[in-house]
Amino acid sequence: MATKVRVRFAPSPTGGLHLGGVRTVLFNYLFARHHGGDFVLRIEDTDNTRFVEGAEDYIMETLRWCGMEPDESPAAGGPFAPYRQSERKANYLQYAEKLVADGHAYYAFDTPEELEEMRNTFKSAENPSPQYDHKLRMKMRNSLSLGEEEVSRLISEGVPYVIRIKMPDNQTIGFTDMIRGEVNFSTSTVDDKVLLKKDGMPTYHLAVVVDDYLMKITHAFRGEEWLPSAPVHLLLWNYLGWSDAMPQWAHLPLILKPDGNGKLSKRDGDRLGFPVFAMNWTDPRSNEFTQGFRERGFLPEAFVNMLAMLGWNDGTGKEIFSMQELIASFDMSRVHKGGAKFDFEKAKWFNHEWIKASSAARLLPDVKNSLTSAGISVTDDRYLATVIDMVKERCTLLPDFVEQSGFFFNAPASPDMEPVKAKWNLDKNLFFTDLPGVLEALPDWNAVAVETAFKEMAVARAIKVGELQLPFRLMLVGGKFGPAVFDIAATIGKDEVIARIKKGLESLA
RNA sequence: GCCGCGUUGGUCAAUCGGUUAAGACGCAUCCCUUUCACGGAUGAAUGACGGGUUCGAUUCCCGUACGCGGUACCA
C-alpha cells in the first residue's frame, strides 16, 4: 500500500485522561509506529460549554510521560494545522451547506423547548426516547416541512437554526471493523443527527469526518461507545464524495469497573482506592482532586505495559513488553472484542516487575524524588544506586522505597525492640555490648567480614546466631524487613553500625 | 422500548473443529530464608444456557438469558 498510515487521537479537553482514554491513545500510537506512520493529536473542543481550562496541557503532559509524543499537535504544529477544532470552525459550514444543497441535510429551526415538547408528546412505553428521524421530521419545523419561502424568511430574519443530516429511511449500511468484522445497521433506526449547531460549531459527527478527511487519516480508532453512530459517519463520507478516502475503523472495547458491571469511572477509583487517571488532576471548576497513576508511584513503562495487556496480547503468553516490543508486535486484529474489568492488583504486579527489571540508574531520579518528598535527603547518588539495587525487589510502588531504604540514610528514630524483649537476657545484652569493640577492630569492612566476626563471637558464647540476628536487624533497620543484615551493615558503614547498636541497647535497657 | 456490541476459572486471558482447555494476577499450602521480599513447587474452572451443523465444537450457525454501549444543538 502506497499511502502512509496516519492515525489520530482526538480527545475533547473536558478533564483528566482516564485509563480508557490513555489506552485508546496507546493503541493509536502503537499502530502508527508499527506501520511507520504518523500519529496526530487533534483537540476536539467543539463544545465550549464543556471546555475545561488546563485539560489540553494535561493531555499533552500525559502523552509525554507515557512516551507517546505526537508527530503533529496543537503545540507541535504540522502540515494540517490548526489542530484544535475550535480554530477550524470556519471549515465546517461549507460542507454542511453542501450536504443541504445535495439534499442530504436540512435546516431545522426547532428550539430546545420544542424538541423537549416533541419528546414528551411522542414518548410512550414502547418508545421511551423518541428520535428526530424520518418518522417525525415532517412534524417539526425545518426546511423539509416548511416550504421554501418560509425557510428563506426565517433565515433572513436571523432565526437560529441547526443543520441535521437527512437519514434515509430504509437502507442497510455496513462496514468492516478491524476488530469486530462486518457490522451492519439499518438507517431507519438512526435519527437525524445535528451536524452543525446553532453557534456555528460542528458536532462531533461532522467534525470527525471533515477533519479525518482533511488530515488524510487512514485508520480511525475509538471507543466502542461510538459504534452506534458509525452509520452517520459512513453516510457522511459517502455524501461528501470521499468514500475512497474513508479510513479503516476499529472500535476498541471498554475498560470496566472491577466489581459489578459498567464502564470504569473515576468514582470507582475513589471508592475502591486506586487511581483512574494517568496523572493527578484537579478540576478547576469543582476543585475536585483525583489521584493519578504517576503520583501513586507507577513507572510509565509499567503503566503503558499494563494498559496494552488490557484487551490485547500477542498470543504467546508474554506479558512484559517494553514500548519498543509493543510497537513491534502490536496487531489490531488481536484486540479483544469484549470489555475487560480493571484489576488494580495486576496493575501493581506490572509495576513490581518493571521496578525489579529496571537499573538503579533508571530508577534513581524517581526514587530520589520519593525520598526527598518524604524528608530524606540524598547527597550521594552512588550510594543511593547501591541501595536501590539492594531493595528494589521488595518495592511494588515507587513510594515503597521510602520505607525500604530510609534506614540506609537515617538511623531509625527510635528502634522498636519489642519483638525481642521477651527473650532478651544478660548473655545477649553482653554480646551486643561487646560487639562494637569487635567490629571496631575489623581490618576489612564488608558483609563477609562482619558476618564471620558476628558468628564466631556467637559460637564462642554459645548463643544461637539466629537469636542474635533479629535484634541486630531491629537495631540497624528499625523493623522486621529489608535485605540481609550483614549486607546492610556493610553498606551503612562501621561507625553507623556501632552507633545504632548502642542506641538499640539503650532502648532495651 | 428500539438499535448495536459482547459472554472461556474471582480477574486478565491462550486455543483460529480433534489428546488430560495454556499462561499470568490474586488466593491456599509447601520449600528456600531463624527479617521482609525474591525465587521454586503444588492445589482449585468442563468453556452463560438450549438447539443445530459435523465422525467430532469452547471453537461454525440459530435462539434464549445476561451484561455493556447508544438512543443530546456531549464527546
Q: Mark residues 54-73 of chain A whose C-beta is closer than 7 A to nucleic acid strand B.
A: none
**Predicted confidence (pLDDT) per residue in A301-337, tens digit:** 999 999 999 999 999 999 999 999 999 999 999 999 9
Q: Does position A383 have pLDDT exceeding 90, yes or no?
A: yes
- What is the average pLDDT score of chain A? 95
Looking at residue A472, what is its pLDDT?
96
Q: Which DSSP state fits A114? A: H
Superfamily of domain A88-206: Glutamyl-tRNA Synthetase; Domain 3 (3.90.800.10)
**Nearest protein residue to the C1' atom of B36, measured from CA:** A481
| A2: confidence class by pLDDT, cuts 50, 70, 90 | low
Nucleotides of B under 7 A from a protein CB: 1-8, 10-15, 22-26, 34-39, 67-75
**Predicted confidence (pLDDT) per residue in A24-83, tens digit:** 999 999 999 999 999 999 999 999 999 999 999 999 999 999 999 999 999 999 999 999
Query: What is the pTM (predicted TM-score) of this model?
Result: 0.95
The nucleotide lying nearest A45 (C-alpha to C1') is B75
Looking at residue A349, what is its pLDDT?
97
Length, in residues, of chain A: 509
A89 touches strand B (CB under 7 A): no
Question: Would you kindly state where each structural domain of chain A is located, as residue ranges?
Answer: 88-206, 418-508
Average pLDDT over residues A218-239: 97
CA A307 – C1' B8 distance (Å)? 21
A120 touches strand B (CB under 7 A): no
- CA geometry: angle at A372 spanning A371 and A376, to 5°? 70
Contact A134, A167 (CB under 8 A): yes
Q: What is the interface pTM, i.e. ipTM, of the complex?
A: 0.95
Same topology, domains A88-206 and A418-508? Answer is no
A46 touches strand B (CB under 7 A): yes
A300 touches strand B (CB under 7 A): no
Looking at residue A228, what is its pLDDT?
95
Q: Tell me, which fold does domain A418-508 have in CATH? A: Arc Repressor Mutant, subunit A (1.10.10)
A184 touches strand B (CB under 7 A): yes
The nucleotide lying nearest A179 (C-alpha to C1') is B5
A349 touches strand B (CB under 7 A): yes
Average pLDDT over residues A217-241: 97
CA A493 – C1' B54 distance (Å)? 75
Catalytic residue check, A266:
yes
The nucleotide lying nearest A231 (C-alpha to C1') is B4
Q: Give percent of chain A with pLDDT exceeding 90.
A: 94
Which of A166, A193, A257, A266 is the catalytic position? A266
**Nearest protein residue to the C1' atom of B13, measured from CA:** A313
Burial class (CB in 10 A: 0-12, 13-18, 19+), A233: buried
| A414: confidence class by pLDDT, cuts 50, 70, 90 | confident
**Predicted confidence (pLDDT) per residue in A340-363, tens digit:** 999 999 999 999 999 999 999 999
CA A375 – C1' B33 distance (Å)? 32
- CA geometry: angle at A301 spanning A296 and A306, to 5°? 80
Looking at residue A423, what is its pLDDT?
87
Angle at which helices A447-460 and A465-477 pack, to 10 degrees? Answer: 130
A287 touches strand B (CB under 7 A): no
Average pLDDT over residues A391-416: 94
Burial class (CB in 10 A: 0-12, 13-18, 19+), A176: exposed
Q: Does position A205 have pLDDT exceeding 70, yes or no?
A: yes
| A286: confidence class by pLDDT, cuts 50, 70, 90 | very high
